[in-house]
Amino acid sequence: MESKLPRFDASILGAVAAGAQLYELSHAMAPSMPVYHQHIPYSLALHRRHGDPHPVKREDGSSFANEVIVTSGHSGTHIDALGHFSRNGCLHGDVRVTDVETRDGYRAHSVADIPPIIQGAVVLDVAAAKGVECLAPAQEITIADLEASLALSGASIKPGDALLIRTGWSKYWTDAETFIGRRGGMPGPGEKATRWLIERRNLDGIGHARLRMPADARRFGPRHFAG
């Protein structure tokens, strides 16, 4: 499958400064981790254990084990492909779902179309800008909040950068019901703030610690639409 997205430019590795720090942004995957209730829960089990009999006995006493992993593509720390969300039967760019959706995935807008991502990123610590450890459930991040967080960071957002929005919500990673918004919602940018980011900042991606938009439960995913 030929990607319709820009290819990864390996020369960017030469721009990594000596002594640069590596920050791990993902969470460990475990059966207890938060998963949106309409998605398959994560599980891992040993299909074969050390000591299980082999068809032919191994004279050297060796053995092997193997796991079975069941998971949704939207479990743990992940990125949404363009094929993840539709509206009125169409994906991003007015691609009709019926034209590209198959039993084995998508012929277009698949996650396989996304090249390796090594790029500049700016962290907007909204929680710090508001003087709190964590934003409240369903608290909407406004344009003013983003501007205040950017000023606090002292950084500038360049075209093609990614933006990482910190709300403090990761503190609830071990409390699945709270993390997925079943106890009052989740904090995050509202539709106006999301459109401001896209239209004025020319971003290449936005990262955050939540599963979906919190502001209005009657309107699912305004940020999916805005993107």
Query: What percentage of the chain exceeds 90 in pLDDT?
Result: 41
DSSP state of 23: -
Mean pLDDT in residue range 73-97: 90
**Prediction pTM value:** 0.78
For 66-91, the DSSP string reads: EEEEE--TTSSS----GGG--BTTEE
> 125, 166 in Cβ contact below 8 A?
yes
Across 79-96, b (16+ Cβ under 10 Å) vs e yields: eebbbbbbeeeebbeebe
The rounded mean pLDDT for the chain is: 84
By C-alpha distance, which of 18, 76, 66 is closest to 45? 66
* Whether pLDDT at 148 is above 80: yes
pLDDT at position 226 over 70 = no
Which tens digit of pLDDT belongs to each residue from 28-77? 889 999 988 888 999 999 999 998 988 888 889 899 999 999 998 888 88
How many angstroms separate the CA atoms of 182 and 59, rounded?
Answer: 55
pLDDT at residue 178 in the model = 93
- The structure tokens listed for 46 are 């040993």
Q: Is the dihedral of CA 201, 205, 206, 207 positive or negative?
A: negative
Instruction: Kindly indicate the confidence band of residue 7, based on its pLDDT and cuts at 50, 70 and 90.
Output: low
Q: Which two tokens stand for residue 136?
A: 């409240």
Q: Which CATH topology does 119-227 take?
A: Glucose Oxidase; domain 1 (3.50.30)
pLDDT of res. 219: 47
Residue type, 215: A
Give span(s): CATH 3.50.30.50, the chain.
Answer: 119-227
Give, in order, the Cα–Cα distances in Å from 135 to each of 9, 67, 87, 105, 185.
Answer: 37, 38, 30, 36, 11
- Higher pLDDT: 8 or 101? It is 101
Q: Please state, as a whole number, how many other Cβ atoms lie within 10 Å of the Cβ of residue 143.
A: 16
- Torsions phi, psi for 168 (to 5 deg): 90, 0
78 pLDDT higher than 50: yes
Q: What is the three-class DSSP state of 177?
A: helix
Structure tokens that stand for 176 in this block: 């699945």
Give Cα 170 to chain centroid, integer Å: 13
| More confident position, 104 or 221 | 104
User: Which helix or strand (DSSP H or E) is residue 62 part of?
Assistant: none
pLDDT band (50, 70, 90) for residue 3? low
Q: Of the segments 22-26, 88-92, 205-209, 222-226, which one has the largest average pLDDT value?
A: 88-92
